[in-house]
C-alpha cells in the first residue's frame, strides 16, 4: 500500500511543481554538440597546432612523424557534449528517514575527453595514422539555483537556509545521475572523434594524400 501511495504521489507531483517549459517527472534531455567546438579546435589547429605537423627541411614539407602529431594534440580537456536535466530529488532530515521536502531543479552536465591522453601511431609502410581517444569523462556538473522549486512536508522546513541545502542536495543528485549515464559518455567520445577526424584528415591529405587517418 505504501508503494502504491508513493507512486500516486509521484504521478501527481508533476502537476504541483512547475518549471518553465518542462514537466518535472519527465526528465528532458537535450544532447547537442557544443556550437563553439569546431571553431575553438580550428583556431587552435590553425594558429598553434597544425604548423607543428609539418617536418620541414630546407623550407619543404617532407613527412609526417608520430612525435609531431603527438605535439599537435598536447592541449587540455576538450568538452564535446552538454547534457541538460530537469529532475527532482528528496531531502531528508538528519535521521535519514524523515522526508523534509521534494526539490525540483534544472542542471547541466558537461562531458568530454582529456586530449593529452590520446595515443597516436604512424605506420609509414602502410601510410596510416591511427589516433586513439581516451574514454570520455564527466568534466563538470552545474545546477541553476534559480530553477529550484519545493514541496515541503511541513512548514517548519521552509527556512532561510533551505535554498543552500537544496542546492547541495540537487548537485549531489545530478552527479549520481550523470555517473550512471553511459550513453552520455559514448556520445561525447563520438563527437570528439568526429571533430578530430574532420579537422585533421584534410590537413594530412594536403601534406601527403597517400596517408589515411583513423580516429577511434
Phi, psi of 208 (to 5 degrees): -155, 100
Closest by Cα among 138, 131, 139, 137 to 194: 131
Q: Which residue has the higher pLDDT, 22 or 131?
A: 131
All three cell numbers of 168: 547541495
Which stretch, 13-27, 87-101, 124-138, has highest mean pLDDT? 87-101
For residue 150, what are the domain limits?
Answer: 16-215
Residue 135 has pLDDT above 80, yes or no: yes
Question: What nine digits make up the cell of 206?
Answer: 594536403
* Residue 50 domain flag: yes
Whether residue 95 is predicted with pLDDT greater than 90 in this model: the reply is yes
Convert the pLDDT of each residue in 40-82 to its tens digit. Answer: 444 444 444 444 444 444 444 445 666 655 555 555 456 678 8
Q: How confident is the model at residue 202 (pLDDT cuts 50, 70, 90)?
A: confident
Within-domain flag for 210? yes
Total domain count, the chain: 1
pLDDT digits (tens, 9 = 90+) for 148-158: 999 999 999 99
**Degrees to nearest 5, angle at CA 31 with 26 and 39:** 155
Range scoring the smallest mean pLDDT among 18-27, 68-77, 139-148: 18-27
Amino acid at each position: 500500500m505504501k508503494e502504491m501511495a508513493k507512486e500516486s504521489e509521484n504521478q501527481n507531483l508533476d502537476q504541483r511543481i512547475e518549471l518553465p517549459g518542462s514537466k518535472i517527472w519527465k526528465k528532458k534531455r537535450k544532447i547537442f554538440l557544443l556550437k563553439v567546438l569546431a571553431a575553438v579546435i580550428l583556431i587552435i589547429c590553425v594558429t598553434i597546432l597544425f604548423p607543428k605537423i609539418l617536418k620541414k627541411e630546407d623550407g619543404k614539407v617532407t613527412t609526417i612523424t608520430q612525435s609531431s602529431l603527438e605535439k599537435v594534440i598536447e592541449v587540455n580537456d576538450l568538452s564535446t557534449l552538454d547534457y541538460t536535466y530537469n529532475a527532482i530529488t528528496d531531502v531528508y532530515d538528519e535521521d535519514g528517514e524523515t522526508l523534509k521536502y521534494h526539490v525540483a531543479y534544472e542542471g547541466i552536465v558537461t562531458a568530454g575527453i582529456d586530449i593529452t591522453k590520446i595515443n597516436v601511431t604512424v605506420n609509414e609502410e602502410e601510410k596510416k595514422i591511427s589516433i586513439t581517444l581516451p574514454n570520455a569523462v564527466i568534466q563538470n556538473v552545474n545546477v541553476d539555483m534559480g530553477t529550484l522549486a519545493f514541496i515541503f512536508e511541513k512548514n517548519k522546513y521552509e527556512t532561510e537556509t533551505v535554498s543552500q541545502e537544496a542546492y547541495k542536495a540537487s548537485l549531489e543528485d545530478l552527479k549520481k545521475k550523470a555517473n550512471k549515464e553511459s550513453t552520455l559518455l559514448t556520445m561525447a567520445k563520438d563527437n570528439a572523434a568526429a571533430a578530430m577526424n574532420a579537422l585533421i584528415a584534410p590537413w594530412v591529405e594536403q601534406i601527403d594524400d597517400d596517408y589515411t587517418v583513423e580516429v577511434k
